[in-house]
Structure formats: structure tokens, C-alpha cells
Structure 1
Amino acid sequence: MNILVTGTPGTGKTTLCQRLSEQLHLNYLHFGSYARNIPVLQDLWNEQIQCYDLDDEAENMIMDEMEPLMEQGRCIVEHHDARPFPERWFGLVIILRSSTEQLFDRLSSRHYSQEKVQENIQAEIFNICKEQAEESYSPSIILELQSNTLDDFNSNVDLIQQWLSSHQFQQ
């Protein structure tokens, strides 16, 4: 079984993936890191919005790099968009949600431009990441979790471990 963690930037995907990777002995795969490590994709970096402008061909190149590990299983993947991946890759899809106040503070502390902060807050308000996940995966494997506080984080780790145990995920 593999796990996908998705959500608007600033919702805590990286922190959650790192914790679950350590506790469950999973391979942590950050989609954006693959883009940084494929030389031909470096021209797709958009300096203005500080991210890659990936088209379908670029996403497919990244997934081709990821596929051997995904086929082995026991991976946790982080990406803000749930759509590019084959449905068969994941047995659990986690959508992290945060309040707009938390997102504003977190994204501002990263020194994102006001345009990028507002774009991400709008994405959270309009449930973009949730809609993308629900378009791509069965509701039976989706967990939507609030991620505003340290208590939320700890509770989420426990809920995910309970979900995995009840679905025979071997640690």
C-alpha cells in the first residue's frame, strides 16, 4: 500500500509525511523534488510564482522516475495535486486542510509573494485540493483532516495509524 498526502501549500504535508515515514518505515517521495532532480525540467521553473509549470509530459516524466518505488509499495507521496497519479498507486489519500488564518501566517513566513499567498488561500477556500482528490479516488480511501495546531497534527498521526491498522496495512 502507498499513501498520498495532498493539500494546499502550507497545510502541513511535509511535516506529516516526514513523521509517518519515520514511524511507519515508508519511502517518502516529494513530487517537487523529482522535478528538481530531472535536468530537462529545470527550464519549467517559474521564478515569479516560485514553482514548476509542469505540463502532462513533465508530470509523466516524474511519474516514470517514481514508478519503480511505487510498484514496490510502502511509499508516502506528497503533492498538492492528486490528479496526475494512477489511481492504482494508492490505498490511502489524505487531504490536509487548514484555516485561512493559519495558511496566511505559514505562507507569509515562507516569504511567498502576496499574490502566491492569496492564490493558495483561494484554493483552500474553494476546496480545490479536495475536489481534485475526490475526482481521482474512491471516497472509501480518502481521509480529510484538519491541520491547524500541534494537537491536530498528533491526532492526525493517530487517526492515520488507526485507519491503516483497520485496513491491514503492515508496519
Structure 2
Amino acid sequence: MRIAITGTPGVGKTTVSKVLGDKLGIKVIDITEFVKKYKLYKEKDIDMDSYVIDFEKLENFIKKIEDKEKTIILDGHVSHLLNPDYTIVLRCNPEIIKKRLEERGYKPKKVLENVQAEILDVCLCESKGKVYEIDTTNRDVDDIVNEIIEAIKHKKERKGIVDWINQYFDYLTLEIK
């Protein structure tokens, strides 16, 4: 079984994935780390300081891991594009995401793009199949992980619980200076 933990950068995917993996004894694949480490990319986008993933290479890499592991957790903002059996979409207040990404040293253009992606529900809209959405804003990691375990156990599906559009419409029209 492939469990995808997806969402905009800064929502808490890696933290949640690690705790979930430890609690369930499941291998976690950090997509960003594996893409860099095993050169599973086509090129580096210098402007956005990110890699253009070679999805075919990444898929083959994941299949090799699945040969050894019964269940895996795919941690990354593109994990929902990797044919998961179950997708958890983490959401977070755009102001918190902005602050976290700035603290990580993201360029203003990349911060803006990711805040806009969160406001527009990009990861949620792209997710197919069984999808469960969680707002992580000001929530405890263990509480989030326990909710994920219950959702998976009972095959729950939930979408549309978060709506940032009206509150943050101005972010959608900002131009980069």
C-alpha cells in the first residue's frame, strides 16, 4: 500500500510522515531527499531552486522499495502524483506557511508561489482516489497522526474542509517586486 502525505511546502508533511512512520513501523520515502540523493531528476530549476523530477525514474525507484516493503509512506508535495492507494492532504494557514518558508530561506518568488498554491488548494485538486484532507494549523503532531491512523483504518474520505480563498484573495493578485 502506498500512502501519500502531500501538501504545500511548509504544512508539516515531513514531521507528520516521520512520526506516522515511526508509530506504524512503516518506511517513509522523503521524495525531495530521494530525488536529490539518487539523481531522479531531469534538471535543476535554478530560478525556483528546485529539481524537475523524472517521474519515470522515481516510479521505478519506488517499485524497488515496494518489493521489500508491504506498505510505504511517500512524503512530498508531489506524492499525490505517484499513484498512491490513499492520499492525506495536509493544509495550513497561508500566513504560517509564508513565515516557515521565509525562515527556510526560500526566495520571495518561491514563497509567493507556494502561498498561492495553498490558497488555491493545488495539492487537493490534483489528488485522486481516496483522499483525506486535514487542516494542520496550530495542531499537535501526535493529534494529526492519530487522526491519519483513524482515517486510514476506516478508509475515510474528506475534501473541502479548508477554504482560504475569501480570507487571502489579495495573495492571488500580488506581483513579485
Measured in 2, the distance between the counterparts of 1:142 and 1:98 equals: 17
Give the AA of the match of 1:155: D
Of the candidates 61, 64, 67, which is equivalent to residue 63 of structure 2? 67
Q: How many residues are aligned here?
A: 154
Deviation at 1:82, TM superposition (A): 4.4
Partner of 1:52: 51
Structure 1: stretches of 5+ with no match in the other structure: none
Measured in 2, the distance between the counterparts of 1:165 and 1:159 equals: 10
Measured in 1, the distance between the counterparts of 2:144 and 2:56 equals: 31
Give the AA of the match of 1:145: I
Instruction: Name the CA shift for 1:40/1:166 in 2 (closer, same or farther; >3 Å).
Output: closer
Give the AA of the match of 1:128: V
Answer 1 or 2: higher relative contact order, Cα 8 Å, separation at least 6. Answer: 1
Measured in 2, the distance between the counterparts of 1:124 and 1:95 equals: 11
Give the AA of the match of 2:76: H
Give the AA of the match of 1:91: D
The one-character-per-residue Cα deviations of 1:31-84 (angstroms, maximum 9, x if unpaired) are 12222123474x612232111023xxx111111011122353221001212453
Measured in 1, the distance between the counterparts of 2:62 and 2:39 equals: 15
Counting helix residues as a fraction of each chain, which structure ranks higher? 1
Measured in 2, the distance between the counterparts of 1:116 and 1:83 equals: 20
RMSD after superposition: 1.8
Sequence identity, in percent?
A: 24
TM-score by length of 1: 0.82
